Amino acid sequence: MEKPFDIQLERLTGQASYSRPAAMNLASSQERGTFFLETFGCQMNDHDSEKVAGVLLARGYRQVETPEAAGLILYNTCSIREKAVQKVFSRLGEYRTKQVEGKIIGVLGCVAQQEGEAIFERAPWVSLVCGSASYRRLPEMIAQLETGNHRVTGLDTDTDETFETEMTRRDNPFRAYLTIIEGCDKSCSYCVVPYTRGPERSRASDSILREVRQLAELGYSEVQLLGQTVNSYADPTPRKMRFAELLLAAAEVPGIRRVRFTTSHPSDFTADIVQAIDSQPKICDHVHLPAQSGSGKVLREMQRTYTREEYLEKIAMIRGARRPIAITTDIIVGFPGETESDFEQTLSLLDEVRYDSLFSFKYSPRPNTAALRMNDPIPEEEKGRRLAVLQEKQREIQTARNLTLIGETVEVLVSGKSRRENQWSGYTSSHRVVNFTSPAKELLGTYVQARVTGATPNSLVGEHAV
Ligand code: 5AD
Ligand code: SF4
């Protein structure tokens, strides 16, 4: 259910009487030099937070578990759908009644970029607003606040500073995320990302591979290359490495056993990526290829740059690989003007592709996007109905697909241990969750063979094969 907007916070808009205590030295001595960081949204945001934490830790800050214990409170935010933005403002609204004297409250990420200085009006206790391209400047911005500046912003979008943070504090001990391309040059009519994350910038291939080698030396065996359109990667160095070559080069780094990548854009998805997966088993057999809709008309209105037929050609290319490759997708229902027949074409796309998993969303109008001005909005209840129908269909497909795996043996990178005895979990190369039993004492971070004995729509059940 959608959360109602935080009305009290909205009422504060334009309130001029609130003033921040100017002297930051009011923070108690325990809180000084500590930060709390909460992250909303996608893997790119999770990874950005790892970089922010790294930058602060390198400057001697200490991370704490609660905002109460922190001198610096940061929210790394998401604005992909209105619900995500509401969540952020409702979190900020909690400070209306909290003691914030002496603390610095900062908004980072996509809401920061989208709303800019308007955040100061909506939540006057915020004094720092910083988009993802300016994180390296955070210590300097915090220093400005500490020396009496009232409010600071970092809202540039065209720098590539984010790639080269000197330290990244990684949260996931089993999988290391690595941004290889920032921003987006596509212009899907519903999407706010080109606005919040700016134009596409690719990171130098030698710098990416250097980081992969460092990660392997630190003990990571799985890396995931990230980008909004990861396969649009364009190496800025004279080497001009293609994306598929980069995947192969990363897989060849000693110690690396799995290379993942997400998210791929169908228009830039080329045959050499499939060949790379075929020729190198360390490149994971999983492609996330957002279709968004199965209707050619809606795809055109969405400015997705491909037709249904062209999308299906890419699927055929992936299905033609020698290794079975899992395919997952994103679907938006209720785009303006989506008729019942358009929606049925999306359902038929699900039947045709038989995705291994999908993320589905109700269309949410976003500021600064072309679709905002489109006629024929779909009522919320109808969007909800379509979403439920779509999810039910996918549930059936997933159950059937997972059932076919019973009896197979799959390799699992173990990343979880249940409180229940002998119960472990992890991911296959194809990104399926496997919950399995094993009498072993310690398996975390290791690769084990599991025999699949059961299946649910969202996971496999198995036992350690010895
Ligand atoms: N409304 C609903 N879903 C959206 N997405 C992006 N923008 C919107 C929007 N305005 C979805 C797309 C994208 C995923 C990350 O979020 O499906 O692939
Ligand atoms: Fe948004 Fe489209 Fe770019 Fe994906 S490709 S980030 S949906 S504009």
pLDDT, tens only, 138-156: 989 999 998 888 899 999 8
What number is the average pLDDT over the span 313-327?
Answer: 98
| Dihedral, CA of residue 142, residue 148, residue 154 and residue 160, to nearest 10 | -50
pLDDT at 166: 63
Residue pointed to by tokens 């400005």: 144
Q: Are 231 and 269 in contact (CB under 8 A)?
A: yes
Distance separating alpha carbons of residues 315 and 129, to the nearest angstrom = 41
**E-assigned strand segments in 87-216:** 104-108, 128-130, 152-154, 175-179, 181-182, 201-202
State the distance from the centre of ligand 2 to the C-alpha of 188, rounded, in angstroms: 6
Q: Is the pLDDT of residue 253 over 80?
A: yes
pLDDT band at 160 (very low <50, low <70, confident <90, very high): low
**In the block, which residue shows the tokens 């959360």?**
3
| Cβ-proximal residues to 84 (8 Å cutoff; 6+ apart), any chain | 40, 41, 77, 78
Domains of the chain: 5-154 (3.40.50.12160), 172-402 (3.80.30.20), 409-464 (2.40.50)
Mutate to test the pocket of ligand 2, among 79, 184, 192 (most ligand atoms within 8 A of CB): 184
What local confidence, expressed as pLDDT, does residue 2 receive? Answer: 27
pLDDT tens, residue by residue, 31-84? 778 999 999 999 999 999 999 999 899 889 999 999 999 999 999 999 999 999
Ligand 2 atom closest to the Cα of residue 229 is 5
Q: Which of 414, 412, 441 is nearest to 429 (CA)?
A: 412
How far is Cα 400 from Cα 238, in angstroms, rounded to an integer? 48
Distance of alpha carbon 267 from alpha carbon 309, whole angstroms = 12
Distance 195 CA to ligand 1 centre (A): 14
CA distance 190 to 383: 15
Q: Is the pLDDT of residue 22 over 80?
A: no
Sign of CA dihedral 182, 185, 189, 194: positive
Decide whether any atom of ligand 2 lies within 6 Å of the 264 Cβ.
no
| Residues 129 and 153 sit within 8 Å (Cβ to Cβ) | yes
Radius of gyration of the chain (CA): 23
pLDDT tens digits, 181-226: 999 999 999 999 999 999 999 999 999 999 999 999 999 999 999 9
pLDDT of residue 163: 58
316, 269 contact by CB (below 8 A): no
Pairing mode, strands 409-417 and 459-464: unpaired
Is the pLDDT assigned to residue 20 strictly greater than 50? no
**Tell me, what DSSP letter sits at residue 79?**
-
- To which residue do tokens 């080109």 refer? 194
- The mean predicted confidence, pLDDT, of the chain is 91
Q: Select from 292, 306, 330, 391 the residue to mutate for testing ligand 1; criterion: most ligand atoms less than 8 Å from CB.
A: 330
Beta bridge partners of 287: 327
CA–centroid distance, residue 161 to ligand 1 (Å): 26
- pLDDT given for residue 466 in this prediction: 77
pLDDT tens by residue, 401-412 = 999 999 999 999
- Give the residue among 237, 239, 208 at the shortest CA–CA distance from 225: 208
Output the pLDDT for position 148: 83
Q: Is the pLDDT of residue 19 over 50?
A: no
Amino acid identity at 107: V
Q: How confident is the model at residue 170 (pLDDT cuts 50, 70, 90)?
A: confident
Give residue 10's pLDDT: 24
Instruction: Report the predicted TM-score, pTM, of the whole model to 2 decimal places.
Output: 0.91
Residues in the ligand 1 pocket, defined by CB under 6 Å:
80-81, 190-191, 290, 292, 330, 332, 361, 363-364, 366
- Per-residue pLDDT, averaged over 164-192, amounts to 89
Q: How high is the pLDDT of residue 225?
A: 98
- Smallest CA-to-CA distance from 226 within 44, 403, 26 is with 44
Give dist(CA 191, CA 32) in Å, integer: 39
